[in-house]
Amino acid sequence: DMAAVDEPEQEDPREADTRCIEARAREQKMFEGDLDPMVGMIQEQAYSWQDRQLKQLAKDRKAKVERTQKMKDKVKEALNPRSKGLMPKVRGICTRGAAVGGSQ
């Protein structure tokens, strides 16, 4: 009698393995199912954050390029001996206009 109590009926180890694997797979699936929406949200947030960062960088870079260009233009303008503000250009246009008008 005692021997019977001590030894529970032997289970096929392969069957036990299969059941264990199935249970683990089910758990994994549930876990992934729970995670899916979270992961999606986190990725979305990361992407939108990255997008904002990139847009901001592009904006900053563009502004910097424009500032640099303005500075270059100012320096060029200052170094140009013929330029005294806008007057020579305007005068040139006016005289040219007068010449064209006079010849007609």
Radius of gyration of the chain (CA): 41
pLDDT band per the 50, 70, 90 thresholds, residue 63: very high
CB within 8 Å of 83: residues ≥ 6 apart = 77
Residue 62 has pLDDT above 50, yes or no: yes
31 vs 92, more confident = 31
The answer to whether the CB of 36 falls within 8 A of the CB of 43 is no
pLDDT of residue 47: 84
Residue 98 has pLDDT above 70, yes or no: no
pLDDT of residue 64: 95
* pLDDT single digits (tens) 1-39: 555 555 556 667 788 888 888 888 887 776 666 667 777
pLDDT of residue 4: 52
